[in-house]
Amino acid sequence: MNGAPPAGDGHAVVRTRSAVAALVAAAVLGLATGRFVLPPPPGGVDGVDGSVPASASASASASAAASPTGAPDASATPGAPGPVTTENLLEPTAFRPEVPVGRIHVTDRYGDGFYANSACTGEKTLTQTLGVPGAHFRGLTTSLRTDPDDPTWATDKVDQVAREVAAEAPSPSLAQDYAERLLQEQVTCQKQPPGHWVYGRTTTVRFAPDVTASWMGTYEGLLNTTGRAPEVEEPCGGVAVLRSGSHYGVLEVHTCLGTAAMDRVVRTALSRL
Residues contacting residue 183 through CB under 8 Å, at least 6 positions apart? 202, 214, 241
CB 254 within 8 A of CB 163: yes
How does strand 247-253 pair with strand 160-168? antiparallel
Q: Give the pLDDT of residue 117.
A: 64
Q: Give the pLDDT of residue 61.
A: 36
Q: Give the pLDDT of residue 5.
A: 37
> Which has the closest alpha carbon to 268: 216, 213, 219, 193?
213
Q: Give the pLDDT of residue 80.
A: 72
- Rounded to whole angstroms, the maximal C-alpha distance in the chain is 76
pLDDT in tens, the chain (273 residues): 334 333 344 433 333 333 334 333 333 333 333 333 333 433 333 333 333 333 333 333 333 333 333 444 434 457 777 899 999 999 999 999 999 999 999 999 999 988 876 667 667 888 888 998 899 999 999 999 999 999 999 999 999 999 999 999 999 999 999 999 999 989 989 999 999 999 999 999 999 999 999 999 999 999 999 999 999 999 999 999 999 999 999 999 999 999 999 999 999 999 999
CB 213 within 8 A of CB 265: no
Q: Give the pLDDT of residue 118.
A: 61
Model confidence pTM above 0.75: no
| Burial of residue 56 (number of CB atoms within 10 Å: 0-12, 13-18, 19+) | middle
DSSP 8-state class, residue 247:
E
Q: Please give the Cα distance from 183 to 213 (Å, whole number).
A: 10
Q: Please give the Cα distance from 63 to 56 (Å, whole number).
A: 11
Q: Give the pLDDT of residue 119.
A: 63
Q: Give the pLDDT of residue 133.
A: 86
Q: Give the pLDDT of residue 205.
A: 97
CB 206 within 8 A of CB 212: yes
Q: Please give the Cα distance from 225 to 203 (Å, whole number).
A: 22
